[in-house]
Every structure is written in C-alpha cells, then in structure tokens.
Structure 1
Amino acid sequence: MLAPDWKPPADDPARPYRIEELARLASTPAYAGRQLSASGVEEYDELWRWSVDDLDAFWRCVAEFLGHDLPGPALAEERMPGAVWFPEARVNYAKALLEGRPADEVAVVGLSEDPGAGRELTWGRLRDEVAGFAARLRELGVGKGDRVVGYLPNTPEAVVALLGTVSLGAIWSVCGMDYAASAALARFEQLEPKVLVFASSYVHGGKQHQRAGVVAELQAALPTLERSIDVGDFEWADAVGSDPVPELDYAEVEFDHPLWVLFSSGTTGKPKGIVHGHGGAMLEQAKVAALHFDLGPGERLFWYTTPSWMMWNFVVAGLLTGASIVTYDGSPAHPSPDQLWAITAEHGVTATGMSPAYVAACQKAAVGPKNHDLTRLRRVGISGSTFPAVSHRALAADLPPAVQIASISGGTDVVSAFVGPAPTVPVWAGELSRPCLGVAVDAYDESGAPVRGEVGELVITRPLPSMPVMFWNDPDGARYHDAYFDTFPGVWRHGDWITLTDHGSVAIHGRSDATLNRKGIRMGSADIYEPVEALPEIREALVIGIERPDGDYWMPLFVVLADGVEFDEALQARINDAIRTHASPRHVPDVVIAAPGVPHTRTGKKLEVPVKKVLLGQDLSGALDPGSVDAPELLEWYAEIGTLHRP
C-alpha cells in the first residue's frame, strides 16, 4: 500500500474530533446498535459504510448531533431524482444558524483591501442586523417564495442579506460584482425578483471598481423589481440598525422548501438555476464543516471566494457549526502575492481554503505559508480543480507538520463535497482521502459496472439531502433528469473521471465531458496538467482532444509561458519529457502551442469543452454567455488556431 504523505498527529489538542463524537453517538441502540469508531482508516471506512448502508439512521444521527430536533423518518422515500427527506420536519436555515449562539462572541470578520472598511460582527450584532433587514423586506411585501437577488462583493452585508431573506422563507440568489450586466441578467431575469440588494463598488487589486452603471442596467432590465436597496446608503443603515431591534420571526418551512438558487457556470447555453432546500443544505453543509473539517465554537473558517461561487455558501454554512467566518473583499494577491496567508495568520484562522492555482502562484513567487505565524491553523482546504501531487508536497513542506492539506471535490449541484478529508484519515498527495460520510460514491465503467484501480465515472448510487430540489423553470423535471440521470438510470452521474485507489482514496482526473480518448484509451486532462504546470517556464496549460472525420485524433497542448520565457524546441522537449515521465508516452500531445492565455469560468475552471468546440469551428455566439468567462476574447484566438489546423 502506498505510504501516506500526512497522518493525523497523535497529540492533536483538538481531539476528540467531532467525527469521533458522532461515531460514539451512532453506536447507541437508537442508530447502529454496534460499536463504531472514526479514529483511524479502518474505523472511518466502517463508519462510512454504515452511513451509506443506513441512510435513515445516519441522517437522523447527524441531525441530533447538530442539535436539530427533526421528527419522523429521515429518508421517507428513496428514489433519484425525487427522494423525500424529513417530510414531517419544519425548519429554517437562518434559525438553525443564528439561534443559541453567544451574543458577545465574534461571528463574522469582514475584511477588505481597504483596512478602514473592515468590521466585526458578534453573534448578537449579526442576529440584530438580520432581524432589521428581514423586517425591511417584510415591509416591502416580501414573503415565502418571493425572490431577492444580490449584486454584492464578499462582505458581511451579503451574509446579512442572505440570512434576512431566507428567514422569511423567501428565495435568495447572488452574483459577485465581477460579473458583467449580461451575465448577472442571464441569471436574475429567470427568477423574476422582487428586490435587488446591491453595492455600488468593490475593491480588487488596489482599485475601487465602480459598478453603478451595471446596477442601473440590472434595474432597467428586471421589470418585476419593486425595490432596490443599496447596502451603502441610509436605507440599509436604518434597516440593520433599527432601535428597538425588530422581532426575528422565522418562517418555519418544509424541509425541501427552496432556500437559494445557485447557477451553473453558463459557459454553454443559459445558466441552469439549481435550487436547494433549507433542510438539505443545512444538514449536508454542516456535516462537512463539523465532521470533515472539525469546525465548531472557537474555530475560524476563511476560504477565498466570491458570492458567485458555491464556496461562498459553504463559508456561510461554517456559521451553522458555531464557528466564526472571515469574508474578504479583494484580490488574493494584493498587496502581496501571499495575501491569503497573511489574513490566515493575522486573524487566527483554523481552517483556510484556496485554489490550486493560487498555491502554484505563491510557489512560483517563492512566498507562502512559511513566512507567517500559523500556530492556530489546522487545515488547508483546496478546491476548484485538481491539486497536483508535486504542488501538494511543496505546500506541505512549507506548513507546520500537523496541518492537514484537505482537498475536496463536489460542486454547485449539491453545494457541498462528495469526497474530501477527515481529521482521522491520512492524506496521499494528489488524492482525496475518502468519500464523505453519507455519500455513496462509486466509479462506473461505460456499461455501469463498478471499477477499482482504474478510471471510471464518478457516480452517487444513493440520495443525498442536498441534491437539488429542482431546476428553476423546469416544470417537468426533464432538464434535471438529463443533467444527472440520463446515463445510468436511477444513479447520479456527476461528470468527473475518478479512480478509487487500492488504499481507499479518490483520485480526480478531470471532467468526463472533456475526456481525452486517444485510440480507444481514455485519459484525464489533469494527468497532463500536473507535470506540465510544475515546470517553472509554464504558467498554465490546456489540453484538448479532437476527433476528426477520417477517424484520426488530434491532441494539442496549449501552454501559457511564464514572464520572460521564450518558446523553443528545447522547451517543447522538456514539456514532452515531463509528460512521458510522469504520465505515460500516450499522454504526449501531438503538438505544443504557446498561447496568450487559457479562458476560465468565473470560478476558475478551464473551459475545455467550449475551447474544443471553437477549435472544431462551432459558433458559440448564441450558446456562450461571455459574462461568465474571465477572458472571452481568448476564444477568438483559439478559433483561429482551429482554422489553421483543421484538415
């Protein structure tokens, strides 16, 4: 068995971990009726097996562990899609998050590139501001099922607006302020919102970006709007600073009542509105935060994100555990490349999160965690894309030995993680430690048979509470079904290639809809990116596989060069040698092409599928939302390359 790169420290002062406390609770006769533990690999695997074999008992146990009194069965009807969870329960996400907290302890630390713009909210102050904003919405006629949308940066005001909205049973949706008007409208106009909450500017890279013009476009193009509220004006201040503080009267809603609408990246076609329910998001997100990241009172969570990305919702969900959170309006690399590490150190963060690209950028700039006091840090979360083993080991070398690198993989679809860390389980570089509790992860071949030790489709074979309640404007559920269940009936196909290893971990190989299938051999793009992007001359890479009409297969590799680097035959040889050595000879591309850049979604994912389409000569003008792409002009460059190389 492959030796792990990190093991849980025997003398960790955080023990017993919360996952161990859950295991003890699960050993009572009310649940498993057997002794369960989570204090090692075999023990975790036993706990996981119970969690997916007896979904009803597991989720009742999780609810009790988190302090929620939810009557009746957990899983009343098992089917996918359409599972029925806790039909007798009445819940409210905001109530679960806010009630029973110590009023004078810090809940939210709001930071900005502008030091004078930061502020802290205690639990008491957070609750009062939510109560004030909810009362203002109620005065405006907002109630159960109405939609409130936000065009906001990552600030405490966004957290207050979310919680105030959902406390009423209204439905929330938000876009970060880097989104153009067209991208925000592609989302908001579907929802027919009653209220828009907005800011007039945001901070990034040392600059104040004015967005009043975008806000005006949104207001003009959303005919259902009855009111717009600027978080920087007197109306907001008057609402959240009400004296006396209004009563916070929570709407007790059904477990699956719509909580928020998150949108797919929208890179091909209109963005899909993914609707999650109050109860499912509440239980699933708190499970990952409390059990897999060991968050609770006294802990602090910071994950670099924008409100457009599901990780923002995950950070807010850290509050469900009683932990405090950090919001940050600014660039991760300003005023210095290691800004996220500086924030982590200065504010006593115990679990911090970032992207592989940010880690790589710090490593190439020779800065990072070693330059900061991280005595309180226990976990570094990694999300957004695959994390190469070489980057993992380089990061680990700069961290205190007890700190766990905690990669996760899930998605907007479930607003949580399928696979990730556990504080009691080792970590293997370049891999994710285990399937998360309650998540029936498997890998299937094309025929739907489980595979081990080889690449297969990531599937979920039993329901999760946070699977979407529905897609917005999908009355017969056809789009929802086609998104996940059209390949393996009754089984969720997520669209990622994975390998379930012989030591129980999970390796992620990239999106299956961007699969490289060279002469009948399927390969994951991540296996190529890892060795190439480790080269100091390469900033980023993009590999595409194209089937040609004559049956041939063309696999170009595009590379973005580091500053001052010239592309020549010697560099091309080093790139091919790295791929041949660290992947295999069949992974070596047909051609290496220096590119001006790689286009991404706003959440940082490479646009492999759209680039493939433009290389093939397809016109994406009617199907691609340019506002959802960080550099849409790059697609024109790739279209030209396609013209030059088509047979």
Structure 2
Amino acid sequence: MSTLPAPVGAMDRYRAWLAESGRVACPDYAALHRWSVTETGAFWRSIVDYFEVPLSPLAAPDAVLVDDAMPGAHWFGEGRLNYVDQVRRHRDAAGPAVVALDEAGGRVELSWRSLLAQTAAFAAWLRDNGIGPGDVVAGYLPNIAETVVCFLGTAAVGATWTTCAPDLAPEAAANRFAVTSPTVLISADAHRHGGKVIDLVAPSAELASRLPGLAHHLTLARGGGPVPGRVDLRSVLDQTHPLVVAETPFDAPLWAVYSSGTTGTPKAMLHSHGGIVLEHLKWLGLHLEIDSGDRFHWYTTTSWMMWNAQVGALLLGATAVLLEGSPTYPAKDALWRLAAAESITHLGTSAGYLALCDRDQIDLAGHDLSAVVEVGSTGAPLSPAAAGWVARELPEVRLRSASGGTDVCSAFAGGVPLLDEPRPGDLQGPLLGVALEAWDDAGDPTSGVGELVVTRPMPSMPIRFLGDPDGTTYHAAYFDRFPGVWCHGDWITLHPDYSVTVHGRSDATINRNGIRLGSADAYGVLDQIDWIEDSLLVGVEQDGGRYWLPLFIAPATGHTVAAADLDELRARIRRQLSARHLPDEIIVVERLPRTPNGKRLEVPVKRLLMGHDLTAMIAGLLPADAAAMTALSTHRP
C-alpha cells in the first residue's frame, strides 16, 4: 500500500479531516483501519463529529464505549439520538428524497419536505392512538414510498418498526411477527411482481388474525377504494401536522429484523437508533461514498436488510430509489434499464443477478449508464467470472462486493476506496471499525482459511433478540464457540494486502477426507453453464464415518439433461476445480429452494438429508420454495 495522494474521495477527505483536526495521522488504509479498531471510542466519536450527528449530550472519546463486553457493549453513555433527527437535517438537500418505481411504469417522487410532512402525519396518528416506546409497528408492505414514510413515522415516536414483504405467505409472515407482538399492522391492498398484480386484502386479513395483540390495521388503497373495517392509510398521510420527534436513548430499539430461519424459527434481532445511524453513515458514506445529490438503488424486498440499508441513503441527504417488482421483468436487463432511466449513481444487486447477467451475456451497450459510479454486490460470494463481466461491460465503474449480515445490518468487509482493486471475486478489505480476523479451530489467527470473527464490538450489533429474555439464544448464535468474540459462521481468508476471500458458510463447509472445500468455488463454475438454472452442492455426514457429496442441478427451462451433459459437467469440475470437488452423485431436480432473499439453502438441505425435522423452517419459505424443499427429502440416502 502506497502513501495516499491529496484527498479526492469521501474516505480520503475523512482521513485528511482526522489529521487536520489533530486526532490521528494515517498515511494509508492499514494505519487508518488499525486506529479504528484499537481506539474504538475515538473512532466512533469521530463519525459523530464528521457527519455532524445530532447526538446529545456528547460523550468524551474515552467515554464512548463504556463497557466493551461482547455481548453487552454499552455505547455513548446517556447520549440521545433519534434516527429521524439525522434524516431531517437534510430537508433542504438537492433532489428528491425518495423515488419509487413499479414494473408497470408507475413512478412516485417525494421531495424532502413532502417526505417529512407525511412522516409527521403518520407519527401524529400513532401518537394519538397511544403508540410509542415499547410498541411495535409491523409492515406487510412492498418496496414503495409509503413503507419508508411509515418506518420514519414509527421511529419518530420511539416505537419499533418491523417489516415483511408480501411475497411471504401470511403464515410465514406471522411466524416472524409473532415474537414481536405488533400493536399496529400496515398492509397494502395489492402489490406487483413479475408482471402480475397480486391481491393482498385476504392475505393481510389472515395475517392480522394470526397476531393476537393487534389493535389497529391500516391499509393503503392502491387501486380500489378503502378496505371496509380498516383505517385508510392514505387519509392518514394526507393530514397536516408538525413533525414531533421523540428523544430516544442511543440504544433504544429502532427496528426488528429477522434471520433467514434456515436453522429454525426466524430470530427477531433488535438494532438501536444510534448504532444504525453511525454504522450506516460509516458504511454508506465512507465505504460506498454516497453523498447528498447521489441516487442510490439496491434491489431488495422489504424482508431483506438491504431495504434498511437503502433507506440509509436518507441519512446522507441522498435519494433512495425503490423498485417494486422483479429485477428481471419485463426483461433480464430490467435493473440496468432502471439505472439508465433514473441516473442512478450507486446500483446494488445480488451476486446471483450478476452471475445471471454474465451467463446470459447481457449487453449493456444500449443503456446510458454514464451516471453510475459504483455497482455493489452482496448476498453470496461473487464469482470471478461475474466480476469479470462487470469489468468488461462497465470498465469505468467501481465494483464493490460486500459481506456482512442482517445480524449487524451492515458489512464486515467490502469496498475500501483507499485500497487497490482486489482479485476478481474478492472483497477489498475489512470495513473501518470492524476488527475482522480469520481464526482456526483452536481460536488462533490464521493466514489460511478460517472462521470469520470480530474481536471488538460494533455499535450495530443487536441489542438483543426478542423472545430471548436471558440472552441464551443470542449468546449461542455468536459467542459460544469463542467466548467474548463474535463468530459469524462464514469461512474466509484474510490476505496480506487486506483483501478478503469469502468461501461460504462455515457450517456448510465440505469436509472430504479431512480436506475442507468451499462450495462457493463450485458455484463459480456451475453458474457459467448455460443449461444449469440453479445448483446446490452439500456434504452429508452418514453413519459409520461415511460421507456423501451430492450435487443437485435444476436445468434451464426447456432443457432435457442428457448423459453427455453430465459427463461434460464432471470434466469441467475436475478441470477448473479439482478431483476432490467431484460429486458422488448428480441429481437433476425441477427446482431448488432458496430463502426469500435468494440465498442458497445449503445448511438446511444438508440437515434435511440427514433426517432432521425442518417443518418450521420450510413454513417460512415462499410456497414454490417450500414445495421444492419438501421434494428434496425424497433424496435422503
């Protein structure tokens, strides 16, 4: 790493500000990162000062992290901060606050003043109905402007927000909402996806019937009139009220988000106002370099933490551009069309979508993507081939792959503007404030493949899990393996140049004859084969020490798998990976299940094939994925 040039980007300006203010002089990212994780309190206090966060009273740098235990770290003493305080600082920002699009060409644009006025109206309705700290407001809503408004209104009164996308069946949504015991439910009467308009009146009624503590049900009428017996959300938002924002402690709960539920009932994780504000300012503002006037879109549903991150654009005065619908409708280049039409500066998507673009060789020459400065990828390791496609199609654009989790509602590693470009498919480095290491089974740092651990607290680590009064489940999720150290469950290599290779979930690691293999390497090959629509490779331990390595293949529509296809597939795996990666059996199926966020279900399928009862987990999947998961049970050895 070389000495840095004069400040040009957001992170470099921050580095220069640290030196000019007499805090610390860091000649390169290694020094800056080392300071951020050794002087933890001073670093996070600098984020408050640099972004002018309205936190009061301000703690001295040496009193920022009062207790650094994990779990149980206590931040900023008696400091008070409401998420909405940071948003309304930008009420005079250039450009709209929110642009919401749908598949049919619908477009809603909210100015900052309009966004805050509707936020004030919803907050007033909540307050008038006795909703405040300790209450939960649940949204069964698509990715539309009103969802953002309702979240901000909930935060403004100090209540806790939680949401599920309406593509989840009522039973699956109820499984998530049940532990939060919402007092208020907000739904829409319909949503769009894949060219269809899906009625939500009956599903939302069923969901409401499954929530025994529910006192109020509001519905947004998007096509017809108000739904009888429910409060009309539009009439609430059209009222005029002053914006009154509750003073909330730094660690007051902001929202509850849910784990994927791949190892049981989804866990409801509470994040704090202060932790999320600081974490998203750091991640979006310094690492993604989003600023006032930028236009940020990350394809997501309201069930995924990237929806929460997308709304984080408002903390920086940038425009949050939302999409209701499918990223491949009406064509596979739908996201690139959106980016061109809306002059998106920062476009985020999944590794799976970029792999699809590479496999189908989507041509971007016909799209004006001159505004795009950065393409982000997360959700799974990005294959070198997909990274290469982005580099060829958009040579002037930064590709920033990230790895993190709903658990911290952020990334552990990802884009670092001060570092050189990594190897295709790798991440540039650990984020500021993330004491990231790779540990071996004995709990020692390793330069090879190891467990992703975080050895210092982050302010966006969950306050607690709901339904876990003594913290047992929270502790077991991250701290049982290495006491006092966050063990995330990913398998990584941390290289000397700071770059990070993510090999996949450590609990899905393939261990063949004592040699551990990463399934992500296999998917990098399989995703390039045009007749394969989806694939899943799992290692299954059997009685007597036997080990079974099946590869499940879902062929592309219209393709009949022939023996020659399978022979070529085996040859390709041997040629591009190794003989150790060769499966014991290749099983062709009609469809492979995914989580509602599109992640492969390696661990649940492994457990299913070992005979575990996954009824609760399967109930949380979309109907087609639940059916596909059930069908895989017929392949138990």
TM range (shorter): over 0.9
Aligned counterpart for 2:473 among listed residues 460, 473, 479: 479
> Contact 1:26–1:58 at 8 Å: present in 2 too?
no
CA-to-aligned-CA distance 1:25-77 (integer Å, 9 cap, x gap): 22246522xx224xxxxx11221111111111111111111111541132111
Cα 1:630–1:395 shift into 2, 3 Å: farther
Alignment of 1:109 onto 2:104? no
> Contact 1:261–1:273 at 8 Å: present in 2 too?
yes
Give the structure 2 partner of residue 58 of structure 1. Answer: 43
Distance in 1 between residues matched to 2:93 and 2:544, nearest whole Å = 69
Give 3-state SS (helix, strand or coil) of 2:302's partner: coil
Alignment of 1:99 onto 2:103? no
Which amino acid in 2 is paired with 1:296? D
1:562: how far off? 2.3
1:104: how far off? 6.6
Give 3-state SS (helix, strand or coil) of 2:580's partner: helix
Cα 1:601–1:607 shift into 2, 3 Å: same
> Contact 1:268–1:625 at 8 Å: present in 2 too?
no
Relative to the length of structure 2, the TM-score reads: 0.94
Cα 1:141–1:368 shift into 2, 3 Å: farther
Give the structure 2 partner of residue 387 of structure 1. Answer: 382
Alignment of 1:178 onto 2:167? yes
Distance in 2 between residues matched to 1:566 and 1:592, nearest whole Å = 14
> Contact 2:526–2:532 at 8 Å: present in 1 too?
yes
1:623: how far off? 5.1
1:105: how far off? 3.1
Cα 1:333–1:624 shift into 2, 3 Å: closer
Distance in 1 between residues matched to 2:519 and 2:483, nearest whole Å = 27
Distance in 2 between residues matched to 1:449 and 1:547, nearest whole Å = 26
List aligned pairs for 1:282-297, cutoff 5 A. 282-297=277-292
Distance in 1 between residues matched to 2:232 and 2:623, nearest whole Å = 34
**Paired positions, count:** 622
Distance in 2 between residues matched to 1:282 and 1:274, nearest whole Å = 16
Aligned counterpart for 2:72 among listed residues 71, 74, 82: 82
1:622: how far off? 4.6
List aligned pairs for 1:565-580, cutoff 5 A. 565-580=559-574
Cα 1:634–1:100 shift into 2, 3 Å: closer
Give the structure 2 partner of residue 120 of structure 1. Answer: 109
CA-to-aligned-CA distance 1:542-567 (integer Å, 9 cap, x gap): 00101121212111111122234332
Which amino acid in 2 is paired with 1:549? D
Give the structure 2 partner of residue 621 of structure 1. Answer: 615
Give the structure 1 partner of residue 10 of structure 2. Answer: 18
Give the structure 2 partner of residue 554 of structure 1. Answer: 548
Give 3-state SS (helix, strand or coil) of 1:494's partner: strand
Give 3-state SS (helix, strand or coil) of 2:438's partner: strand
Aligned counterpart for 2:120 among listed residues 112, 121, 131: 131
Cα 1:391–1:627 shift into 2, 3 Å: closer
Give the structure 1 partner of residue 154 of structure 2. Answer: 165
Give 3-state SS (helix, strand or coil) of 1:495's partner: strand
Cα 1:394–1:279 shift into 2, 3 Å: same
Give the structure 1 partner of residue 502 of structure 2. Answer: 508
Which amino acid in 2 is paired with 1:253? T
Cα 1:104–1:556 shift into 2, 3 Å: closer
1:269: how far off? 2.1
1:614: how far off? 2.1
Relative to the length of structure 1, the TM-score reads: 0.93
> Contact 2:94–2:293 at 8 Å: present in 1 too?
no
Task: After superposing the two structures, state which structure 1 stretch, 310-319 or 558-567, moved more.
Answer: 558-567
Give the structure 2 partner of residue 264 of structure 1. Answer: 259
Aligned counterpart for 1:430 among listed residues 425, 432, 439: 425
Distance in 2 between residues matched to 1:355 and 1:68, nearest whole Å = 31
Which amino acid in 2 is paired with 1:138? R
List aligned pairs for 1:139-218, cutoff 5 A. 139-218=128-207
1:100: how far off? 3.8
Give the structure 2 partner of residue 455 of structure 1. Answer: 449
Cα 1:60–1:309 shift into 2, 3 Å: same
What RMSD in Å do the two structures reach over aligned CA positions?
A: 1.9
Which amino acid in 2 is paired with 1:64? D
Instruction: State the identity as a percent.
Output: 42
Give the structure 1 partner of residue 590 of structure 2. Answer: 596
Give 3-state SS (helix, strand or coil) of 2:148's partner: helix
Give the structure 2 partner of residue 40 of structure 1. Answer: none
List aligned pairs for 1:354-369, cutoff 5 A. 354-369=349-364
Cα 1:324–1:368 shift into 2, 3 Å: farther
Alignment of 1:254 onto 2:249? yes
> Contact 1:426–1:433 at 8 Å: present in 2 too?
yes
> Contact 1:602–1:630 at 8 Å: present in 2 too?
no
> Contact 2:358–2:528 at 8 Å: present in 1 too?
no
Give 3-state SS (helix, strand or coil) of 1:632's partner: helix
Distance in 2 between residues matched to 1:176 and 1:423, nearest whole Å = 33
Cα 1:624–1:594 shift into 2, 3 Å: closer
1:235: how far off? 3.3
Alignment of 1:47 onto 2:27? no
Task: After superposing the two structures, state which structure 1 stretch, 500-509 or 98-107, moved more.
Answer: 98-107
Aligned counterpart for 1:229 among listed residues 205, 214, 218: 218
> Contact 2:93–2:293 at 8 Å: present in 1 too?
no
Give 3-state SS (helix, strand or coil) of 1:513's partner: helix
Give 3-state SS (helix, strand or coil) of 1:631's partner: helix
Aligned counterpart for 1:305 among listed residues 292, 297, 300: 300
Which amino acid in 1 is paired with 2:16? R
> Contact 1:496–1:509 at 8 Å: present in 2 too?
yes
> Contact 2:90–2:112 at 8 Å: present in 1 too?
no
CA-to-aligned-CA distance 1:242-283 (integer Å, 9 cap, x gap): 2xx312111111111000000111233221110000000110
Give 3-state SS (helix, strand or coil) of 1:198's partner: strand
Alignment of 1:344 onto 2:327? no
Give the structure 1 partner of residue 604 of structure 2. Answer: 610
Alignment of 1:524 onto 2:514? no
Which amino acid in 1 is paired with 2:117? D
Give 3-state SS (helix, strand or coil) of 1:223's partner: coil
> Contact 1:532–1:578 at 8 Å: present in 2 too?
no
Give 3-state SS (helix, strand or coil) of 1:174's partner: strand
CA-to-aligned-CA distance 1:328-376 (integer Å, 9 cap, x gap): 1111111111110000111010000111221222333332433311111
Distance in 1 between residues matched to 2:366 and 2:507, nearest whole Å = 40
Distance in 2 between residues matched to 1:440 and 1:576, nearest whole Å = 40
Alignment of 1:31 onto 2:20? no
1:153: how far off? 0.3
Give 3-state SS (helix, strand or coil) of 2:626's partner: coil
Cα 1:368–1:129 shift into 2, 3 Å: farther
Which amino acid in 2 is paired with 1:27? A
Distance in 2 between residues matched to 1:103 and 1:439, nearest whole Å = 30
> Contact 1:548–1:554 at 8 Å: present in 2 too?
yes
Distance in 1 between residues matched to 2:381 and 2:527, nearest whole Å = 12
Give 3-state SS (helix, strand or coil) of 2:365's partner: helix
1:103: how far off? 6.2
Distance in 2 between residues matched to 1:623 and 1:429, nearest whole Å = 34
